[in-house]
Chains A and B, each alone.
Chain A
């Protein structure tokens, strides 16, 4: 018996001892001590415990870098410029970097582990981004899968945003999700209503955040947002405008139209709103109101597959084709500025159509859902 047990016990004891040493070493060695982060050459400095990722730590410092995937290195949004202290580009970052970005030191902040002092650069506009503890005031059903959420800011606080920008909303831990996630939604409300913002959200089947918003969030609940983000906002020119949106992509454009109405903007503008069937159309009355209030605005809903029984009288087919036919008839086609919001497929084909008509690519602004 002893011949079997004693040797086994000895070898097991040694293995256990080594495992213990490793566990202890992990505690001691992977403690990276305090790390200092310097933003924009001394504009802001903070010190944190090393070991975590840069993105995590910036978020803890209330500096919000856009990120749609929540730090997994799959969306490629959380780029920051690192001047010093990040080490070489990691294989996980490479797919998201083009040649210019490699040479100027752009990195994915979610992939950078804080090992030593860092010097980073963040665009001024991201530093103005703040976090707000809002209350959900109202929820309106627009269609079977689109709702509007009206949020009010805590007393006295306001968000200064440009019409067309978006916010990130925090979906907390709840029954169906053990993790907190941030998701981006465009602001759709009238910018003069400074105490509230409205978001238009389409339900994503099995989506962590939309399931929370649609099935769990109730009037009066608190909800955390941060923002504003994005370069999709109305440029201050006199060029005629073509808006193209699909589904809940109407949100930022509605906000821009409010702004145009508030400022009595006389720019010539047309809005093609693409949906699949007539039951997907919403905000029709509001758009008709804009048409009557704004001198030179035209709203054209396009239904790609109208149900025969609804006897849809309006435009049918693909929204890009309808927009193409319309623009071809204009005399100043190449002068237009394009504002697009919707699915990646719709954006890509719209950009193609607009550039073929002679509109410069830098005059086409878009907000792609992903």
Chain B
């Protein structure tokens, strides 16, 4: 086999791992805040999910360039937290403006949660994993995209379950956050079962 097809296989593994076996939300527990607060309706969950996929894919690429061409040459890698956060914040601001301009419906549905993406730790987390695992640019983008899809998968699944729960009888003490956390725990158990099946490193 040529090296390019093993490269392709490697990328596929990175993607698969990021989506399923090493899901950033359910295996790494990053981005819980918006996962719990915006998972009431599938429609909004899908919207936020797409926003995360989009933001994650692009910020990870931007962060990769910033790390490779600014932080590393000057040996100031310890600034990566600040720089990554600044880049993510600016990018989200930009996207927010664009969505408000071009899709008022989406803007209204995401509402105050769009700025929340700025402080969504999953996004910063993905960029930091990229550094730790020493991905190249292509791997980083695939990883960012996969992590976003994984996050979206988890929140949409959660929203679907919560929509079903609307018609379920839940003991009063468990209603709201209680049952949501229990569901999140069970979903996480299911995903953790995959851990180690493939490692995209």
Interface residues of A (CB under 8 A from B): 6-7, 10-11, 14-15, 18-19, 21-22, 25-26, 29-30, 32, 87-88, 90, 113, 115
Whether the Cβ atoms of B76 and A18 lie closer than 8 Å is: no
Whether the Cβ atoms of B82 and A11 lie closer than 8 Å is: yes
When distances are taken between beta carbons in the complex, the residues of chain B under 8 Å from A14 are 66, 70, 83, 86-87
Output the residue of A6, A7, A19 with the most chain B CB within 10 A: A7
Whether the Cβ atoms of A90 and B101 lie closer than 8 Å is: no
Whether the Cβ atoms of B74 and A32 lie closer than 8 Å is: no
When distances are taken between beta carbons in the complex, the residues of chain B under 8 Å from A22 are 90, 93-94, 97
A236 to B189, CA, bound (A): 77
Whether the Cβ atoms of A29 and B74 lie closer than 8 Å is: no
21 A-B interface contacts by CB (under 8 A)? A10-B74, A10-B76, A10-B79, A11-B82, A11-B86, A14-B66, A14-B83, A14-B86, A14-B87, A21-B94, A22-B90, A22-B94, A25-B94, A30-B101, A87-B105, A87-B108, A88-B104, A88-B105, A88-B108, A90-B108, A115-B104
Whether the Cβ atoms of A7 and B79 lie closer than 8 Å is: yes
Contact with A along B36-75 (1 / 0, CB 8 A): 0000000000000000000000000000001000100010
A29 to B74, CA, bound (A): 35
In B138-182, which residues have CB < 8 Å from any A CB?
Answer: none
Q: A14-B83, A87-B105, A87-B108 are in contact. List 8 more A-B contacts (CB 8 A).
A: A7-B74, A10-B74, A14-B86, A18-B90, A29-B97, A29-B98, A30-B97, A113-B104
A87 to B108, CA, bound (A): 9
Whether the Cβ atoms of B97 and A25 lie closer than 8 Å is: yes
Dominant secondary structure at the A interface = helix
Whether the Cβ atoms of B101 and A10 lie closer than 8 Å is: no
A6 partner, pick from B74, B97, B100, beta carbons under 8 A: B74
What total of chain B residues lie within 8 Å of the partner, measured CB to CB?
Answer: 19
State the 9 A-B residue pairs at the shortest beta-carbon distance, nearest first.
A18-B90, A7-B76, A87-B104, A29-B97, A29-B101, A15-B86, A11-B79, A22-B93, A25-B94
A7 to B71, CA, bound (A): 9
A211 to B110, CA, bound (A): 43
Interface residues of B (CB under 8 A from A): 66, 70, 74, 76, 79, 82-83, 86-87, 90, 93-94, 97-98, 100-101, 104-105, 108
When distances are taken between beta carbons in the complex, the residues of chain A under 8 Å from B83 are 11, 14
A10 partner, pick from B70, B87, B97, B105, beta carbons under 8 A: B70
Whether the Cβ atoms of B90 and A21 lie closer than 8 Å is: yes
A336 to B38, CA, bound (A): 56
When distances are taken between beta carbons in the complex, the residues of chain A under 8 Å from B79 are 7, 10-11
A205 to B95, CA, bound (A): 46
In the complex, how many angstroms separate the beta carbon of B160 from the nearest chain A beta carbon?
Answer: 23
Q: Which residue of A lies closest to B82 (CB)?
A: A11
Output the residue of B90, B94, B100, B105 with the most chain A CB within 10 A: B90
A6 to B73, CA, bound (A): 12
Q: Which residue of A lies closest to B89 (CB)?
A: A18
Q: Which residue of A lies closest to B94 (CB)?
A: A25
In the complex, how many angstroms separate the beta carbon of B41 from the nearest chain A beta carbon?
Answer: 14
Q: Which residue of A lies closest to B75 (CB)?
A: A7
Q: Which residue of B lies closest to A18 (CB)?
A: B90
When distances are taken between beta carbons in the complex, the residues of chain B under 8 Å from A29 are 97-98, 101
Q: Which residue of A lies closest to B83 (CB)?
A: A11
A11 to B98, CA, bound (A): 26
In the complex, how many angstroms separate the beta carbon of B186 from the nearest chain A beta carbon?
Answer: 33
In the complex, how many angstroms separate the beta carbon of A159 from the nearest chain B beta carbon?
Answer: 39
Q: Which residue of B lies closest to A87 (CB)?
A: B104
A292 to B117, CA, bound (A): 75
A26 to B93, CA, bound (A): 10
A87 to B103, CA, bound (A): 10
When distances are taken between beta carbons in the complex, the residues of chain B under 8 Å from A18 are 86-87, 90
When distances are taken between beta carbons in the complex, the residues of chain A under 8 Å from B98 are 29
A65 to B86, CA, bound (A): 44
A14 to B69, CA, bound (A): 12
B97 partner, pick from A11, A19, A26, A113, beta carbons under 8 A: A26
When distances are taken between beta carbons in the complex, the residues of chain A under 8 Å from B94 are 21-22, 25
A29 to B98, CA, bound (A): 7
In the complex, how many angstroms separate the beta carbon of B71 from the nearest chain A beta carbon?
Answer: 9
When distances are taken between beta carbons in the complex, the residues of chain B under 8 Å from A21 are 90, 94
A282 to B84, CA, bound (A): 72
When distances are taken between beta carbons in the complex, the residues of chain B under 8 Å from A25 are 94, 97
When distances are taken between beta carbons in the complex, the residues of chain A under 8 Å from B97 are 22, 25-26, 29-30
